[in-house]
Amino acid sequence: MKNVRKTVAKTKILEFIQNSKAAVAHSDIQASLKGVCDRVTIYRVLERLLKEGLIHKIVDVDGVVKYAACHTCENKFHQHNHIHFSCEKCKKVTCLDTIMPVFNLPQNYILNSVNFTVSGFCPKCK
Amino acid sequence: MKNVRKTVAKTKILEFIQNSKAAVAHSDIQASLKGVCDRVTIYRVLERLLKEGLIHKIVDVDGVVKYAACHTCENKFHQHNHIHFSCEKCKKVTCLDTIMPVFNLPQNYILNSVNFTVSGFCPKCK
DNA sequence: ATTATTTTTGCAACTATGTTGCATTAGCAA
DNA sequence: TTGCTAATGCAACATAGTTGCAAAAATAAT
């Protein structure tokens, strides 16, 4: 059977993501965990954390891939249909968990997942 | 004064984007215009076309940057608050110009622009 | 039509981001 | 303690995007 192992890298990376108020990029993790592990390891740990459903992946308006801890998801079949707010000044991406946009798709389109990112200024930067 | 020039590269790139039904990536343009101009030129032409308001930029759910012609925008101060549909099978990104999601931001957030991409299966692939 | 001006291009070099193969290390169960 | 295999480090590679600079091409001026 395929086991999941608890390693230093995985623990530190997950901690870092969970302690961050905003979504973090690979480069943020790398900068924060300087020396703990290799670049490549970070990519692989992120992959695993995603698969285990402990974090989710967000692509911000600039195409930067970021990761955030899952707070509201009870199981690994989570949905992330809420809005992500991307501040143009401080560049922070925050999950606005409670907000769900309403819209209708044209006929014959089958919806699977949504990625809503709005940008502007966050309360701190406005 | 700073003039805008009509060049072969610019014309061909704009034509290609306008003739595409779905949004195109830099790599699509490069593959289609093989030999017409340099990679770097494509980046620079795209930048100019964006600034001139002839095309708009979309980041798809996988973080791939794509470009689409502006059909519904009369002027360069266009807004692209409509939904982009990203097909998980054929990977095509289409603008659903007529659909505008409705939502409310929490207080103190200032909205500037939105980026709504939904994914699933398009009519052809469903 | 020719020249002058300035935008645009090509090329080389570079940075950032992400992936893969493989040998080594380290978790964990027996 | 040992054996299995997941996880890591390293090197190498792939792709996306940027920058500086000299040469080429578009347009304006003559």
In-domain check, residue A126: no
Separation of alpha carbons A43 and A30, rounded Å? 10
In-domain check, residue B22: yes
* pLDDT above 70 for A77: no
- Those residues whose C-beta lies under 8 Å from the C-beta of residue B20, and which sit 6 or more positions away, are B28, B68, B69
Which residues, given as ranges, of chain B have pLDDT below 50?
74-77
**What value does the mean pLDDT take over residues A55-63?**
87
- Contacts of residue A65 in chain B, CB cutoff 8 Å? 63
* 3-state SS, residue B77: coil
Which pair of structure tokens corresponds to residue A113?
């997942």
In-domain check, residue B83: yes
**Looking at residue B72, what is its pLDDT?**
58
Dump pLDDT digits (tens) for A87-126: 888 878 888 877 888 888 998 999 988 888 888 899 998 7
In-domain check, residue A91: yes
Backbone dihedral angles phi then psi of residue B120, each to the nearest 5 degrees: 165, -135
* 3-state SS, residue A43: helix
CATH number at B105 reads 1.10.10.10
Question: What's the domain count of chain A?
Answer: 1
CB contact under 8 A, A121 and B104: no
B110 touches strand C (CB under 7 A): no
Distance from CA of B36 to the nearest CA of A (A): 27
* 3-state SS, residue A92: coil
B95 vs A30, A57, A73, B81, B119, CA distance in Å? 36, 23, 30, 10, 12
In-domain check, residue A116: yes
CB contact under 8 A, B122 and A109: yes
**Looking at residue B91, what is its pLDDT?**
81
Q: What element of type H or E holds B83?
A: strand B83-87
Give the residue numbers spanning the domain of B56. 8-71+79-120
**Looking at residue B76, what is its pLDDT?**
47
Q: Which residue has the higher pLDDT, A16 or B80?
A: A16
- The residue with tokens 């032409």 is B45
